[in-house]
Amino acid sequence: MRHTYLVIIFSLFTSSLLAQGDLLNLIEDSTPQKEYVTNAFKSTRVINGASMEHLGMGVLDFRISHRFGRLNGGKYQLWGLDQATIRLGLDYGITKRLMVGLGRSNSKKELDGFIKYRLLWQSRGKNAVPLSVILVTGMTVNGLKFDNPERKNYYTSRLTYYYQVILGRKFSERFTLQFTPTIVHRNFVDSVNFRHDIYALGSAARFKLNKRIAIVAEHFYVFPGSSIDKNYTNSFSIGFDIETGGHVFQLHFTNSLGMNERAFITDTDGKWDKGDIQFGFNISRVFTIVNKNRN
């Protein structure tokens, strides 16, 4: 009889133990799923240069980039606010990994276009990839009338090409770092002393302050020997990304007036220590053109 009690008590005990256990533990998969890292930057451009972010598939991004004049212009220029340089851009995400873009700058009446492809995508979990690798290639077309119309001018003289590899990693929810080795090839240069090929290394970082605001900074180092002339300086920009619903506002200070790769990598001559700094902003507005099919 005693034993029967024991059996009953014992079996009650074991069953209650099982019942109390975490039910989900019974089926939980211990190997974590592969998960792509997203939102390394708020926008597809850090400030001037391309970021490791892509547009979603079927998403159109209308970008208005605006730079005022130099802060050291003084009161007469209202510290730069009297001048305006702009670039209007349209970018489109063809797939999650492939996007294209077109832009027009008022400076040099320049048209630019690019293709951006994500070769490797940083991910966590199974078969994790530690960093993203993105390839960018683009072209700019100078739209100004030729300086010397009397001589034979070639259309190809208007063209500049650029090639970039973006190596980026989102280290944490807050911090992202990327490096961008770049080659810019100019078909036409102003003097025989200037090089056609410019080698540069871009670096950019983001630090998120909260869910909607981040500090971003960007620098392009041009390797000695390939510099254009004495006045040339490296491009450095720092600012804030502010996100509100479908818009991203990027407010910043920069010593580059240009907003395409040819312009800000090879044409920057502002010096930070002399106050040749422009205040500028980019506004990005995305539209979903192609909706995913509803289930």
Partner 1 sequence: MKKILLVAITLLGSIAVQAQSKYFTRDGKISFYSDASLEKIEANNSKVATVLDVSTGQFEFSVLMKAFDFEKALMQEHFNENYVESSKFPKSVFKGKIENIADIKFDKDGIYPIKVKGQLTLHGVTKDIATNGTLEIKNGIIKANSVFNILIEEYGIEIPKLVSEKVAKEVKVTVNVSLEPLAKS
Residues that bind partner 1 (CB under 8 A): 3, 6-7, 10-11, 14-15, 18-19, 22-24, 26-29, 33, 35, 38-39, 55-59, 93, 173, 211-212, 243-246, 286, 288, 291-292, 294-295
Place of tokens 């489109």: 92
Q: Least distance in Å: CB of 22 to partner 1?
A: 7
DSSP secondary structure string, 71-133? GGGTGGGGGGTT-EEEEEEEEEESSSSEEEEEEEETGGGEEEEEEEEEEE--EESTT--SSEE
Burial class (CB in 10 A: 0-12, 13-18, 19+), 41: buried
Report the residue number, 86 or 283, with the smaller CB distance to partner 1.
283
Instruction: For the chain, report the end-to-end CA distance as a whole number of angstroms.
Output: 61
| CA angle 108–111–113, rounded 5-degree value | 145
Report the residue number, 148 or 244, with the smaller CB distance to partner 1.
244
In the structure encoding, which two tokens stand for residue 153, read together? 């001018």
Q: Least distance in Å: CB of 24 to partner 1?
A: 5
Report the residue number, 156 or 295, with the smaller CB distance to partner 1.
295
Q: Least distance in Å: CB of 171 to partner 1?
A: 13
Report the residue number, 5 or 76, with the smaller CB distance to partner 1.
5
Report the residue number, 63 or 70, with the smaller CB distance to partner 1.
63
CA distance 95 to 99: 7
Report the residue number, 231 or 288, with the smaller CB distance to partner 1.
288
Report the residue number, 22 or 273, with the smaller CB distance to partner 1.
22
Residue 282 is inside which H or E element, if any? Answer: strand 278-288
Q: Least distance in Å: CB of 215 to partner 1?
A: 17
Place of tokens 């999650």: 96
Rg (CA), the chain: 26
Single-letter residue type at 56: G
Q: Least distance in Å: CB of 38 to partner 1?
A: 7
Q: Least distance in Å: CB of 25 to partner 1?
A: 9
User: Is-contact 168 132, C-beta < 8 A?
Assistant: yes
Q: Least distance in Å: CB of 45 to partner 1?
A: 16
